Amino acid sequence: MWNGWAQDAVADSTEARSWSVPGAVGRVRSEGDHFDVDLAPTLPRSAQGRPVIFQAGDSGDGRDFAARNVDVIFSAHGTDFDDALAFAEDVRRRLRAVGRAEDALRILPGTEIVIGATEKEAEEKARWVRLEQVTPAVALGIASRLWGFDLTGRDADGPLPAEDPVVAAYQGKFGTRWVDDPGRWWPSGGRRPTPTAESLRETVIELGPQRGHVGTPAGLAEKFARFVRHGALDGFNVSPYLVPDGLDDIVELLVPELQERGVYRTAYTGTTLREHLGLAPVA
């Protein structure tokens, strides 16, 4: 359907008898396992040729699908450099296997970015953000799933339960990816599952997915420049910790540092998202 209109299908004169050039709009017919199509597209082609296709897929099947079909892949591999590079190299290998160029796809892992004037300020801000995100009620709900029994009446900012987790009760099917096996982080002898957490809520936070970057503008810029220059990623899909204010520090403080290092544009050179992402035109 995206290709149903010829590139020059729209009439170029107000005197033309019809809005589209006669014969320039093709009929689209397709039969498949899931749907059948038989229509004449009613809209002209996108200025991009076709829309930019984004997809999130970390599994092997998801990566194969991305290599065959999409322009941009989201991932959870944007925090640790070695992990991000391994993901990128795996995706490129899959691109080569299906006959696509290595630069035919952009890798934009999701991340949260917390910026402070100093490293200490950034860490304190990040801790505040996590405590705001994981409220006492949320922490107790997650802790109940981790321990395998109801903890909702406990003090989220108090000590850990004295009881051992009921490992058999945890099935990992709660719609949230926290930790996969309580027995792995609750060793015999009742030692702490995390080295620094002082409360139940802090323990839940530290056991949770750690995706994001915390630091000063200059420190983060150096870090991100390394990611980009070594091909570990092409950019980030930013999840602001506050909406919309969470982008202000990135725009005002981080972007200038990235521009100084030559890893972020200073002006747009195109007019479409496809051009902004540096993707090849669609034939």
- Supply the pTM of this predicted model: 0.81
234-278 per-position pLDDT tens digit? 999 998 888 888 899 999 999 999 999 999 999 999 999 999 999
- How far, in Å, CA of 156 to CA of 197, rounded? 12
Contacts 24+ apart (CB under 8 A), 191-196: 192/160, 193/160
Say if residue 153 is exposed, middle or buried (CB neighbours under 10 Å; 0-12, 13-18, 19+): exposed
74: helix, strand or coil: strand
With contact defined as beta carbons under 8 Å apart, do 77 and 63 qualify? no
CB under 8 Å to 200, separation ≥6 — which residues?
139, 140, 143, 151, 154, 155, 156, 157, 158, 159, 160, 161
189 pLDDT above the threshold of 80: no
Average pLDDT score over residue span 85-98: 97
Q: Which of residues 145 and 192 earns the better pLDDT score? A: 145
Say if residue 211 is exposed, middle or buried (CB neighbours under 10 Å; 0-12, 13-18, 19+): middle
